[in-house]
């Protein structure tokens, strides 16, 4: 006969074993992530079970997945048609094909671009385009603050809505929490803008809406009149970034594009908007897609997230790194790569490519900052040159390959961007644009210190133990 006091313990033990079996049997998870969760479950039985149930899987309901895929597929017929193949290097072509497979549309030719000189000017450019809009303004930001730059965009949206421009405005429910509950959000609604608080979880209970609580819309998308779009790392905020001002200035990058790629970016926005609000946006695509410019270059916009096949963002990063033959320079604020991405970085350096990796010296996430440094020894031994930026928090996500290939967008090289968050990125083939972004990267390098190779690879025993433990648990972050 069991004593009453033992029953809760038996139930907890059974739950513990069930979760361990679940974590072990789950398909599609890489072995390092599996090992990290098993280590946590065994080392912290009760806490580990709670954390696994909340964050252990890309949990999304069947209905959420089906609605997300259906809204996207319904808009695919509006994507610009494929253009005749031009002269493209085979390795570069493979990278574009990887992005095409992820997005389900062809690369868009004939685009032009303008790199914003700084974050404040980027907002000034965006406001000018909103003020010139005649038909529609579509904006989606992860973080939108009610500071100087954030307010400028709010006021521009209000002006556009009052003169009859259709304004659809999306902001992440967590990242833009303070703005959504402010008078600025109400002001846009009163002016006639249509608003969406993205990925809300009522009462903090994600299962009520079919997804885990920390699923976030990390995208930064702006499309004006269907012909202008912006892409980069910048949120709608001042570089001072008041919510985390101790790490300021936040150093970002934003590029203004004109051409057919704007249609691709708008489809990404519209599919998410229809999914969340139920509004059918297909009337926005009745007009012809922007015509290619004869002096433009090819670009493809691609969105990823938990509805993508597992590993999609990793495959995109790997394809760009595989195209490098001479040099590649990377900036990312958060480095916690999965095994394929780490291997691609190492393989590029080992085959003789000059690989430069620029990370912020002070990171707003101490855990991810420590995890990033834990990878330094392995990367340094392979020949990767590692730099730490000292001029604030380098938040820009950029890759430039061999003076011609550019990847910019919202995706970090960490597990959230690789596996969970909704992200948007653009792959461009343009020597002039690559040169401009390279110059920006050189500016950041001038304000960086290079990590000494010997110090990175010769660690004390205690440091080596700590670093190895951090790389083991990196999959949890």
Kindly name the residue from 152, 211, 397, 414 that is annotated as catalytic. 397
Domain containing residue 205: CATH number: 3.30.870.10
Q: Do 37 and 119 fall into the same domain?
A: no
Q: How confident is the model at residue 206 (pLDDT cuts 50, 70, 90)?
A: low
What is the tally of structural domains in the chain? 3
Question: What is the mean predicted confidence (pLDDT) over 322-329?
Answer: 97
pLDDT at 444: 98
Question: What is the mean predicted confidence (pLDDT) over 110-136?
Answer: 98
Q: Do 85 and 30 fall into the same domain?
A: no
Maximum CA extent, the chain: 84
* β pairing state of 297-304 and 108-115: antiparallel
Annotation says 298 is catalytic: no
Does a structural domain hold residue 174?
yes
pLDDT over 90 at 91, yes or no: no
Annotation says 218 is catalytic: yes
Tokens of 125: 């450019």
Q: Do 355 and 370 fall into the same domain?
A: yes
Kindly name the residue from 146, 172, 225, 238 that is annotated as catalytic. 225
**Cα–Cα distance for residue pair 459/323, rounded to 1 Å:** 33
pLDDT at 2: 47
Annotation says 395 is catalytic: yes
pLDDT at 58: 75
Q: Do 115 and 176 fall into the same domain?
A: yes
Does a structural domain hold residue 397?
yes
Domain that holds residue 38: 15-55
Question: What is the mean predicted confidence (pLDDT) over 265-283?
Answer: 95
**Cα–Cα distance for residue pair 417/317, rounded to 1 Å:** 11
Q: Give the CA distances from residue 106 to residues 81, 103, 301, in Å, rounded to whole numbers and listed in that order.
A: 7, 8, 10
pLDDT at 393: 96
Q: Do 130 and 270 fall into the same domain?
A: yes
Question: What is the mean predicted confidence (pLDDT) over 415-440?
Answer: 96
pLDDT over 70 at 337, yes or no: yes
pLDDT at 235: 97
**Cα–Cα distance for residue pair 240/244, rounded to 1 Å:** 8
pLDDT over 50 at 182, yes or no: yes
Question: What is the mean predicted confidence (pLDDT) over 291-305?
Answer: 96
Annotation says 315 is catalytic: no
Does a structural domain hold residue 103?
no
Tokens of 301: 């916009």
**Cα–Cα distance for residue pair 322/326, rounded to 1 Å:** 11
Does a structural domain hold residue 176?
yes
SS3 state at 284: helix
Whether the CB-CB separation of 372 and 477 falls below 8 Å is answered with no
Location of structure tokens 């440094």: 373
Q: How confident is the model at residue 459 (pLDDT cuts 50, 70, 90)?
A: confident
Domain boundary among 296, 321, 343: 296
SS3 state at 145: coil
SS3 state at 166: strand
Task: Please indicate whether residue 272 or residue 49 has the higher confidence score (pLDDT).
Answer: 272
SS3 state at 229: strand
pLDDT at 12: 76
pLDDT over 90 at 10, yes or no: no
pLDDT at 432: 97
Does a structural domain hold residue 301?
no
pLDDT at 89: 65
pLDDT over 90 at 457, yes or no: no
Annotation says 225 is catalytic: yes
SS3 state at 224: strand
Q: How confident is the model at residue 163 (pLDDT cuts 50, 70, 90)?
A: very high
Kindly name the residue from 30, 402, 447, 453 that is annotated as catalytic. 402
Return the exposure string of 1-33: e unless at least 16 CB atoms fall within 10 Å of the residue's CB, then b: eeeeeeeeeeeeeeebeebbeebeeeeebbebb
SS3 state at 436: helix
Q: Do 147 and 218 fall into the same domain?
A: yes
Kindly name the residue from 152, 218, 298, 315 that is annotated as catalytic. 218
Location of structure tokens 């280590």: 39
pLDDT over 80 at 142, yes or no: yes
Location of structure tokens 């999609």: 312
Q: Do 281 and 370 fall into the same domain?
A: no
**Cα–Cα distance for residue pair 157/137, rounded to 1 Å:** 8
**Cα–Cα distance for residue pair 89/50, rounded to 1 Å:** 49
pLDDT at 55: 76
pLDDT at 468: 79
Strand residues in 341-442 grouped as ranges (E): 354-360, 385-389, 393-394, 398-401, 405-409, 423-429
Annotation says 138 is catalytic: no
Q: Do 317 and 222 fall into the same domain?
A: no
Tokens of 85: 């193949």
Does a structural domain hold residue 150?
yes
pLDDT tens digits, residue range 353-406? 999 999 999 999 888 999 999 999 999 999 999 999 999 999 999 999 998 999
Q: Do 139 and 271 fall into the same domain?
A: yes
Q: Do 327 and 447 fall into the same domain?
A: yes
Domain boundary among 296, 326, 351: 296
pLDDT over 70 at 87, yes or no: no
Tell me whether the omega of the peptide bond preceding residue 265 falls within 30 degrees of 0, making it cis.
no
Pick from 66-70, 167-171, 186-190: least confident: 66-70
The pTM of this model reads 0.92
pLDDT over 70 at 335, yes or no: yes
285 burial class (0-12, 13-18, 19+ CB within 10 angstroms)? middle
**Cα–Cα distance for residue pair 172/197, rounded to 1 Å:** 6
Does a structural domain hold residue 97?
no
166 burial class (0-12, 13-18, 19+ CB within 10 angstroms)? middle
Q: Do 208 and 336 fall into the same domain?
A: no
pLDDT over 80 at 416, yes or no: yes
**Phi and psi angles of residue 328, each rounded to the nearest 5 degrees, phi first:** -150, 130
Q: What average pLDDT is seen over the chain?
A: 91
Question: What is the mean predicted confidence (pLDDT) over 80-94?
Answer: 73
pLDDT over 80 at 213, yes or no: no
Does a structural domain hold residue 5?
no
Q: Do 252 and 371 fall into the same domain?
A: no
Domain boundary among 246, 263, 296: 296
Kindly name the residue from 138, 184, 220, 315 that is annotated as catalytic. 220
**Cα–Cα distance for residue pair 59/96, rounded to 1 Å:** 30
Q: Which is nearest to 268 in space by CA: 256, 254, 281?
A: 281
């Amino acid at each position: 006969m069991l004593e009453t006091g033992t029953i809760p313990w038996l139930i907890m033990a059974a739950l513990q074993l069930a979760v361990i079996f679940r974590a072990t049997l789950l398909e599609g998870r890489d072995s390092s992530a599996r090992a990290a969760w098993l280590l946590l479950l065994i080392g912290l039985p009760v806490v580990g079970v709670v954390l696994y149930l909340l964050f252990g899987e890309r949990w999304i309901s069947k209905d959420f997945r089906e609605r997300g895929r259906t809204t996207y597929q319904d808009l695919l017929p509006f994507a610009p048609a494929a253009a005749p193949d031009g002269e493209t290097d085979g390795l570069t072509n493979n990278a574009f094909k990887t992005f095409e497979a992820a997005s389900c549309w062809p690369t868009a030719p004939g685009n032009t671009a303008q790199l914003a000189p700084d974050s404040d000017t980027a907002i000034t450019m965006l406001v000018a385009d909103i003020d010139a809009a005649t038909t529609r303004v579509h904006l989606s930001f992860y973080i939108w603050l009610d500071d100087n730059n954030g307010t400028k965009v709010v006021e521009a949206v209000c002006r556009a809505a009052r003169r009859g421009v259709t304004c659809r405005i999306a902001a992440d429910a967590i990242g833009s929490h303070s703005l959504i509950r402010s008078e600025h959000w109400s002001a846009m609604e009163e002016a006639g803008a249509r608003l969406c608080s993205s990925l809300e979880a009522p009462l903090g209970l994600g299962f009520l809406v079919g997804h885990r609580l920390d699923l976030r819309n990390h995208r930064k998308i702006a499309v004006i009149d269907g012909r202008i779009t912006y892409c980069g790392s910048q949120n709608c905020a001042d570089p001072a970034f008041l919510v985390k001002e101790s790490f300021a200035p936040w150093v970002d990058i934003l590029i203004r594009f004109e051409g057919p790629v704007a249609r691709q970016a708008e489809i990404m926005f519209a599919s998410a908007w229809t999914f969340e609000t139920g509004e059918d946006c297909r009337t926005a695509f009745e007009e012809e897609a922007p015509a290619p410019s004869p002096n433009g270059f090819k670009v493809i916009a691609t969105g990823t997230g938990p509805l993508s096949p597992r590993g999609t963002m990793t495959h995109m990063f790997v394809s760009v790194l595989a195209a490098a033959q001479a040099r590649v320079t990377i900036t990312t604020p958060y480095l916690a790569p999965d095994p394929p991405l780490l291997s691609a970085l190492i393989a590029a350096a080992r085959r003789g490519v000059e690989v430069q990796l620029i990370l912020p010296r002070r990171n707003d996430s101490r855990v991810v900052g420590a995890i990033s440094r834990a990878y330094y020894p392995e990367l340094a031994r392979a020949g990767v040159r590692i730099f730490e930026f000292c001029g604030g928090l380098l938040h820009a996500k950029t890759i430039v390959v061999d003076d011609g290939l550019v990847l910019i967008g919202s995706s970090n090289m960490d597990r959230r961007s690789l596996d969970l968050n909704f992200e948007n990125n653009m792959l461009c083939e343009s020597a002039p644009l690559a040169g401009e972004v390279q110059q920006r990267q050189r500016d950041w390098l001038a304000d960086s210190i290079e990590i000494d190779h010997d110090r990175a690879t010769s660690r004390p025993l205690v440091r080596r133990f700590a670093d190895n433990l951090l790389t083991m648990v990196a999959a949890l972050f």
